[in-house]
Amino acid sequence: MVIIIQNLSMTQREILIALLDIYNRSKRMVKSKEVADMIGKDEGTVRNIILSLKVLGLVESKPGPSGGYIPTLKAMEVIKAPSSVPLYDRLSLYKGPVETDIKILNIELLDITNPNSNRVLLKVLGDLKQLRVGDKVRVGPTPYSRLVIEGIIVHMDEMRKEVIIDVVRMVSVPRERIRSLVPKRLIVLRPEMTLREASQLLLKEGIRGAPVVSDKEKSTIVGILTSADIIRAFYEGKLDAKVKDYMKTEVIMIRDDDDLLDAIRKMITYNVGRLIVTNALGELVGIVTRTDILKRIAGLEGTWTV
């Protein structure tokens, strides 16, 4: 019987990919708790699903304190099958800040036991002529493990569709709700405030931007004003202008129960450095900035810009 990835349930697929990811990085038996922690599911559920994967011949296990689970060659073939993931769902390779049309089929960590070498082999789909050895590239965040890998191309093989990069940074985006990043103290501006008053408030609070609201309940968001807007007014000699004259009215928002990864994607998509945060009722909760996110993710500062 041939098993194709589409025949697996979403939960089976999620757990199998997470198991493969952990195993490829550690090259050892994997505990069910590690898989559960990665995908945010109950460990008992994970163990039950792994048992079903074992029956399908996709997982092997070893009992005891030093035991755990490892994926079989069959599992690796299933996951790597080119038809298993639609092209539009695959990861793209970024050359600097620009997304290329090269898609990632597989990521393999090389020399994992060598502390002096940290290279990654990328199996790709697409024309490699748009790349050169020495180019700075980025992949990720990957599904499940949420890895962001950034490095320099050191080798390419057009025939085999392989790219080897020397890793500069490899970090994992933690699973965290946006509400945990939002400062408890809510600072807002009013449309009729002068830019001089607004700049004094931002300076006093040590922040670079704030939402603009039109009512006392702070529920009607009409814009956002940043230090960049104030600097522009300064050079135009209009510090006595109103906040409403320089605020941005196209406000990019995010829910407080959204994931940190959602915020990163929105900031990159809309080329902004801060997002207005609302709750499920659409009420203003606060603001989250690129700096807030970077403080949660050590080493990610150079992997994306807004």
The pLDDT tens digits of the residues spanning 256-268 come to 999 888 888 888 7
pLDDT score at 89: 53
- pLDDT, one tens digit per residue, over 93-139 is 989 878 888 988 888 777 655 555 688 888 888 889 999 999 999 98
Every domain of the chain and the residues it spans: 5-79, 85-172, 178-296
Amino acid at the residue 24? N
With a cut of 70, say whether residue 7 has pLDDT above it. no
With a cut of 70, say whether residue 4 has pLDDT above it. no
With a cut of 50, say whether residue 304 has pLDDT above it. no
Q: Given pLDDT bands bounded at 50, 70 and 90, which one contains residue 271?
A: confident
Mean pLDDT, residues 19-35: 88
pLDDT score at 151: 92
Mean pLDDT, residues 1-13: 56
Q: Measured between alpha carbons, how far is 193 from 241 in angstroms, rounded to an integer? A: 8
Neighbours of 74 (CB within 10 A): 14
pLDDT score at 85: 45
pLDDT score at 112: 52
Neighbours of 193 (CB within 10 A): 18
Is 226:208 a contact under the CB 8 Å cutoff? yes
Burial (0-12, 13-18, 19+ Cβ within 10 Å), 69: buried
- pLDDT, one tens digit per residue, over 76-96 is 777 665 444 444 456 889 898
Q: Measured between alpha carbons, how far is 222 from 33 in angstroms, rounded to an integer? A: 46
Is 59:70 a contact under the CB 8 Å cutoff? yes
Place of tokens 């945010």: 40
Mean pLDDT, residues 285-300: 78
Is 14:144 a contact under the CB 8 Å cutoff? yes
Neighbours of 154 (CB within 10 A): 12
- pLDDT, one tens digit per residue, over 161-199 is 899 999 888 877 888 899 988 888 888 999 999 999 999
In CATH, the number for domain 5-79 is 1.10.10.10
Q: Chain-wide mean pLDDT for the chain?
A: 82
Q: Measured between alpha carbons, how far is 122 from 120 in angstroms, rounded to an integer? A: 6
pLDDT score at 115: 53
Spatial strand order in the sheet of 284-289? 253-255, 274-278, 284-289
What 8-state DSSP symbol labels residue 218?
S
pTM above 0.75, yes or no: no
Place of tokens 């807002």: 188
Q: In terms of Cα–Cα distance, which of 171, 207, 167 is closest to 187?
A: 207
**In percent, how much of the chain has pLDDT > 70?**
85
With a cut of 50, say whether residue 27 has pLDDT above it. yes
With a cut of 50, say whether residue 299 has pLDDT above it. no
Amino acid at the residue 86? P
Q: Given pLDDT bands bounded at 50, 70 and 90, which one contains residue 24?
A: confident
Mean pLDDT, residues 6-17: 74
Which residues, 6+ apart, have CB-to-CB distance to 76 below 8 Å? 20
Q: Measured between alpha carbons, how far is 152 from 165 in angstroms, rounded to an integer? A: 5
Fold designation for 178-296: CBS-domain (3.10.580)
